[in-house]
Chains A and B, each alone.
Chain A
Amino acid sequence: MTTRRNLLYAAPLAAVALAGAGFYTILRRMQSNDYDPHALPSPLIGKRPPPFTLPGTNGQQGFSNTDLLSPPRPMLVNWFASWCGPCAQEAANLDILAQNGLTIWGIAYQDSPAATAAYLSQYGNPYTRLAADASGLTAINWGVYGVPETYLIDKAGIVRWRWAGALTDQVLMGTLGPMLHQYA
């Protein structure tokens, strides 16, 4: 009885030790560059997006996986939500990309139509088509890690690249630019 009680007192230590070991591993992997909290390997890379059909929102047309089968040029699918801070951060860069002729389709993740509309009017609307994933089920099928998240789909309709997190200037220059060039 007493031993069991004493073990109970050690439980917090054990929990924290496990968490610490986890953090250590994550940090080490971040340092050796085989783990980036933003750039997670997506199960979709090299494949077509799983079947889905999402309704439009904000008065725009929605889309389904069949619409992504063979785009005329490489394009982006961007997951976002009005409640997400980093989305607002990357909004300016998405606008620039859209102005430069890149096709971007948006999916509003677990968001109310009114909030999405308000968000887009504040931060600009770079999306040619805009769908709403209100239940979040399509996101699970895509393996979406969190919003914002961006997928590059090439002319054959295959996912070539995925970025979890805001598209910063660094990502645009360093990664997305070369990728677009490669699959153009």
Chain B
Amino acid sequence: MIPELGHFALALAVAIAFAQGVIGIFAPGLRDPSAMRAAPALALSHFLAIGAAFLALIYAGVVSDFTVENVADYSSSLVPLIYRITGTWGNHDGSMILWCFILSLCGATVAAFGHNLPASLRARVLGVLGLVSGGFLLFTLTVSDPFTRLWPPPLDGAGVNPILQDPGLAFHPPVLYTGYVGFSVAFAFAIAALIEGRIDAAWGRWVRPWALLSWCFLTSGIALGSWWSYYTLGWGGYWFWDPVENAALLPWLSGTALLHCAIVVEKREALKAWTVLLAITTFSFSLSGTFLVRSGILNSVHSFAAAPDQGLFILALLGVTIGGSLLLFAFRAPVLAATGMFSPLSRESALIVNNIFLCSIAAVVFTGTLYPPFADLLFGIQLSVGAPFFNQTVLPLTAPLILAMAIGPLLPWKRAALRPALERIWVAALIALVVFVVMTGESNYITALGLAGGVWVILSAITDIAERTKFLRVPLRDSATRLTALPRAAFGAALGHAGFGVMVCGIAGMTLAAQKVIILAPGQSTTMAGYTWTLDALHDAPGPNYAARIADVTISAHGKPFLSLHPSRRIFVNPAGVTTNDAAIHTNFFQDIYVVFAAEQSGGAELRLNYHPLAPEIWFGGLIMALGGALSLSDRRLRIGAPARAKVKKPESLPA
């Protein structure tokens, strides 16, 4: 009964979404205030309807209702409760519901908290969101319905994929999807602005928090995914340039560009058409990222299996959404005139440089991901694009970005001179140079370059804050007063940049990773990276739906044991025979010691010993970036994103 209600709620949501779309877009043209007021009400009911459908599906998973085909195929009564819940979105159909649920949540938030927006703009934004949501809900209902019934039901479900039975991966999709889908609001604002033919600073103030919020989620989602592949896949890799990873990286790159140029719109009312284009591009990348991988064109380990009719439906939807918005852009963008002027050397120009590099990286990644199928289609040639291509093309583009991102924040708006900026940053430059020279001697010049770049970015972020407080130029007490008076956005930006620097250091450090594969019998030991690694014993341990085999490994330095690790192998009961390796990782926040128990043969254990200097900094960097974004988001100036017409300003009125 409950799944039927969920199915009905899903159908209801389709109808409401289209009503919201049509009414929201056309009501402002009719100048009918009551019709315009209908849009927020529809957006809220739309959210409630999908929420009900989503809850119904989760309920079916929790009570293991195997008459629902989706539950029978991807869940089991044997897995722990938490994975019966998260298993709901671990497959194509269920993840569509989650996707639509988050999209409707975005719409509901704009509806509930958008009192300070002009009524026509709010109606149009909600209309665009309604149409997008309606399209994808229709797709869910017609060709990927998660509520399809199965009769007779099987005794037990096929089980949750063991790889998905991991807290890291269980919460990776919701975070990533929130990142993807959040950009729909920036997109809807861009489309609404094109329809209205007007963009001003108030528009920038509304778009930026949304872009920032999605960017924070996307950053955390990507970092979480990378961390997950690091500790489960077990060969110390953290990024594989897989099509699905690239699909998440593309909106991140263009979203980062959007974030930066929305500042220019807000502060200087320039780069308007470009910002609108970036908003459209970012959401288009998000859509393509989520859906092209499902069409079967791009092949990847991550992809959900999808039938070809779904592929065509997806393509049509993407065509209407992306093509329609770009058509609107082609006609309406020339209307959006810039009012702010700036000289070639200024904060604006620095942000343009940032945009150029970010977009070039995005273009390279995009080309690399899509070239193989297109090259075959157009020229009939087959070629390979893998990690080596991306490493060789992306790294050279990142270097100037790192160089420029340190100087940009120090330049004033409108017109700047390079010399004062360079005078402020010479300390950072000097230290980075020392790091480079020292590390070139210690390791190799690529690693040294990476570390120096990371240090340069971190120090320049600190320099930025120090300069704003006039540190050492005025008495310390004055500096402290200035520090407390600084807007949170300034700290957020500095933290975001510093986080990127930390991540760059981590990636550079990982080039020095040491690894050894060895078969040890209990009692034997080996040496690597200055440590002695000893296998003490092998023993069995039970698990909820698997049997585990555990290796006890002791690591000692200079004869003194300081660490004992217990990597294990899990042999799953359901689905039967699947084995996963559970790596044991010890981190002291500056290095990881990482042992994988790969196989057992003739009384000995095959161990993979890893020493990863600075590896934790990769994910800490991501986390710090996301925190920087969140800090910036909590800035009062962003929360009062209001045009002058608002009657009462409510500081707490925007969700952070």
Interface class of chain A by DSSP? helix
Provide the A132-148 mask, 1 if CB < 8 A to any CB of B, else 0: 00001001100111110
Q: Is the CB–CB distance between B608 and A122 below 8 Å?
A: yes
In the complex, what residues of B have CB within 8 A of residue A10's CB?
330
Among B242, B334, B384, contact of A109 (Cβ-Cβ < 8 Å): B384
B535 → chain A closest CB, angstroms? 15
Closest A residue to B381 by beta carbon equals A143
Q: Is the CB–CB distance between B517 and A118 below 8 Å?
A: yes
B382 interface contact, C-beta 8 A? yes
Task: Choose the segment among B153-161, B296-304, B403-411, B619-627 that binds chain A (4+ C-beta atoms closer than 8 Å).
Answer: B296-304
Task: Choose the segment among B43-51, B201-209, B371-379 that binds chain A (4+ C-beta atoms closer than 8 Å).
Answer: B371-379
A40 interface contact, C-beta 8 A? yes
**What CA separation (Å) do A117 and B308 show in the bound complex?**
38
B456 → chain A closest CB, angstroms? 28
B366 → chain A closest CB, angstroms? 10
**What CA separation (Å) do A31 and B240 show in the bound complex?**
29
Q: Is the CB–CB distance between A20 and B323 below 8 Å?
A: yes
A37 → chain B closest CB, angstroms? 6
Task: Choose the segment among B127-135, B173-181, B385-393 that binds chain A (4+ C-beta atoms closer than 8 Å).
Answer: B385-393
Q: Is the CB–CB distance between A122 and B386 below 8 Å?
A: no
**What CA separation (Å) do A20 and B314 show in the bound complex?**
11
Task: Choose the segment among A66-74, A78-86, A98-106, A175-183 that binds chain B (4+ C-beta atoms closer than 8 Å).
Answer: A78-86
Q: Is the CB–CB distance between A84 and B322 below 8 Å?
A: no
Among B242, B295, B326, B598, contact of A12 (Cβ-Cβ < 8 Å): B326
Q: Is the CB–CB distance between A6 and B296 below 8 Å?
A: no
B118 interface contact, C-beta 8 A? no
Among B235, B242, B300, B334, contact of A82 (Cβ-Cβ < 8 Å): B235
Among A5, A119, A143, contact of B382 (Cβ-Cβ < 8 Å): A143
In the complex, what residues of B have CB within 8 A of residue A5's CB?
334
Q: Is the CB–CB distance between B330 and A144 below 8 Å?
A: no
B554 interface contact, C-beta 8 A? no
A64 interface contact, C-beta 8 A? no
Closest A residue to B297 by beta carbon equals A26
Q: Which of A1-35 contact B (CB under 8 A)?
A: 2, 5-6, 9-10, 12-13, 16-17, 19-20, 22-27, 30-31
B644 interface contact, C-beta 8 A? no
Q: Is the CB–CB distance between A85 and B301 below 8 Å?
A: yes
A113 → chain B closest CB, angstroms? 11
Closest B residue to A33 by beta carbon equals B308
Known: A9-B273, A13-B326. A30 touches B296 (CB 8 A): yes
**What CA separation (Å) do A10 and B319 show in the bound complex?**
15
Q: Is the CB–CB distance between A89 and B301 below 8 Å?
A: yes
In the complex, what residues of B have CB within 8 A of residue A115's CB?
235
**What CA separation (Å) do A38 and B303 show in the bound complex?**
14
Scoring A20, A85, A144, A165 by chain B CB atoms within 10 A of each residue's CB, the highest score goes to A85
**What CA separation (Å) do A136 and B389 show in the bound complex?**
11
In the complex, what residues of A have CB within 8 A of residue B277's CB?
12
Using a Cβ–Cβ cut-off of 8 Å, how many residues does chain B contribute to the interface with A?
A: 59
**What CA separation (Å) do A165 and B386 show in the bound complex?**
13
Q: Is the CB–CB distance between A144 and B606 below 8 Å?
A: no
Closest A residue to B239 by beta carbon equals A83
Among B242, B322, B326, B598, contact of A85 (Cβ-Cβ < 8 Å): B242
B543 interface contact, C-beta 8 A? no
Q: Is the CB–CB distance between A85 and B240 below 8 Å?
A: yes
Q: Is the CB–CB distance between B308 and A146 below 8 Å?
A: no
Q: Is the CB–CB distance between A146 and B330 below 8 Å?
A: no
In the complex, what residues of A have CB within 8 A of residue B385's CB?
146
In the complex, what residues of B have CB within 8 A of residue A9's CB?
273, 329-330, 333-334
Known: A140-B383, A145-B383. A27 touches B329 (CB 8 A): no
Q: Which of B271-320 contact A (CB under 8 A)?
A: 273, 277, 280-281, 284, 292, 295-302, 308, 311-312, 315, 318-319
B327 interface contact, C-beta 8 A? yes
Q: Is the CB–CB distance between A37 and B299 below 8 Å?
A: yes
Q: Is the CB–CB distance between B295 and A42 below 8 Å?
A: no
Q: Is the CB–CB distance between A16 and B323 below 8 Å?
A: yes
Provide the B326-351 mask, 1 if CB < 8 A to any CB of A, else 0: 11011001100000000000000000
B101 → chain A closest CB, angstroms? 27
Scoring B236, B273, B292, B388 by chain A CB atoms within 10 A of each residue's CB, the highest score goes to B388
A93 interface contact, C-beta 8 A? no
Closest B residue to A164 by beta carbon equals B382
Closest B residue to A121 by beta carbon equals B517
Known: A31-B308, A144-B384. A23 touches B297 (CB 8 A): yes
In the complex, what residues of A have CB within 8 A of residue B370's CB?
19
B contact residues vs A (CB 8 Å cutoff): 233-237, 240-242, 273, 277, 280-281, 284, 292, 295-302, 308, 311-312, 315, 318-319, 322-323, 326-327, 329-330, 333-334, 370, 372-374, 376-378, 381-388, 515, 517, 581, 596, 598-599, 606, 608
Given contacts A12-B280, A85-B240, A147-B384, 13 further A-B contacts (CB under 8 A): A6-B330, A9-B273, A12-B277, A13-B330, A22-B374, A24-B315, A43-B382, A82-B237, A83-B241, A139-B384, A145-B372, A145-B376, A146-B385
Lowest 6 CB-CB distances: which A-B pairs, in order?
Answer: A10-B330, A85-B301, A13-B326, A145-B382, A121-B517, A146-B384
Question: Can you list 22 pairs linking A and B with CB atoms under 8 Å apart?
Answer: A6-B334, A12-B277, A12-B326, A12-B329, A16-B326, A22-B377, A23-B297, A23-B315, A24-B315, A27-B295, A27-B308, A31-B311, A31-B312, A37-B299, A82-B235, A86-B301, A109-B384, A110-B386, A115-B235, A118-B517, A121-B598, A144-B382
